[in-house]
């Protein structure tokens, strides 16, 4: 996570340096500009590092926090990586007055193929996430059933 933030900062730094010509901005100025422009990405990575990583490292697999985290991951992944594609087509159709079911026929073939190539792994990864969530849910139910049987004995 820290490496990702550093890589994003370096990208920002070199972009600013290229735009500014030979004048290299001060480090503090660049850091502030980076944090102002990409604060959501930085917040995302800091939250991953400080909140969600400890859940994994502390083996809190049976906690409510782990289940809530898993549900948030599923919803976020589905919304941001899969629903994004129908949304793009819908917005394109809305901008040009084309019904949603006709948008794909108005776009160049390479756009549709490119979107399909990008969407296919997202669907595959989402299916893997769903299978993992199902395994964890079934395991927790089995463990709960074992605990209930032990109490009854």
pTM > 0.85: yes or no: no
Q: What is the pLDDT of residues 78-105, one digit of tens each?
A: 999 999 999 999 999 999 999 999 999 9
Give me 25's structure tokens. 């901005």
Say if residue 49 is in the same domain as residue 121: no
Q: Are residues 49 and 83 in the same domain?
A: no
Q: Are 37 and 16 in contact (CB under 8 A)?
A: no
> Could you say which of 58, 85, 103 is where a domain stops?
58
89 CB burial (10 A radius; 0-12, 13-18, 19+): buried
Question: Measured between alpha carbons, how far apart are the two ends of the chain, in Å?
Answer: 48
Tokens for 23? 């004048």
Whether 11 and 77 map to the same domain: the answer is: no
Which domain range does residue 109 map to?
A: 61-153
Q: Are residues 12 and 87 in the same domain?
A: no
Residue 43 and residue 88 in one domain: no
pLDDT tens digits for the chain (153 residues)? 788 888 888 888 888 888 875 455 567 888 888 899 989 989 988 888 887 777 777 777 777 887 888 888 899 999 999 999 999 999 999 999 999 999 999 999 999 999 999 999 999 999 999 999 898 888 877 777 776 667 766
Contacts of 88 (CB under 8 A, 6+ apart): 115
Q: What residues contact 44, with CB distance under 8 A and at least 6 apart?
A: none
Q: Of the residues 58, 84, 103, which one is the last residue of a structural domain?
A: 58
Q: What is the mean pLDDT of the chain?
A: 86
Q: Do 73 and 128 contact (CB within 8 A), yes or no?
A: no
């Amino acid at each position: 996570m820290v490496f990702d933030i550093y890589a994003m900062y370096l990208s920002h730094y070199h972009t600013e340096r290229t735009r500014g010509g030979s004048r290299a901005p001060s480090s503090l100025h660049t850091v502030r500009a980076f944090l102002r422009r990409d604060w959501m990405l930085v917040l995302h990575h800091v939250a991953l590092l400080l909140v969600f990583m400890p859940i994994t490292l502390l083996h809190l697999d049976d906690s409510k926090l782990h289940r809530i985290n898993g549900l948030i991951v599923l919803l976020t992944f589905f919304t941001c990586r899969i629903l994004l594609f129908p949304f793009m087509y819908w917005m394109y159709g809305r901008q040009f007055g084309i019904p949603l079911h006709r948008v794909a026929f108005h776009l160049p073939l390479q756009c549709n193929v490119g979107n399909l190539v990008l969407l296919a792994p997202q669907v595959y990864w989402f299916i893997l996430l769903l299978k993992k969530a199902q395994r964890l849910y079934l395991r927790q139910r089995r463990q709960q059933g074992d605990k209930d049987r032990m109490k009854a004995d």
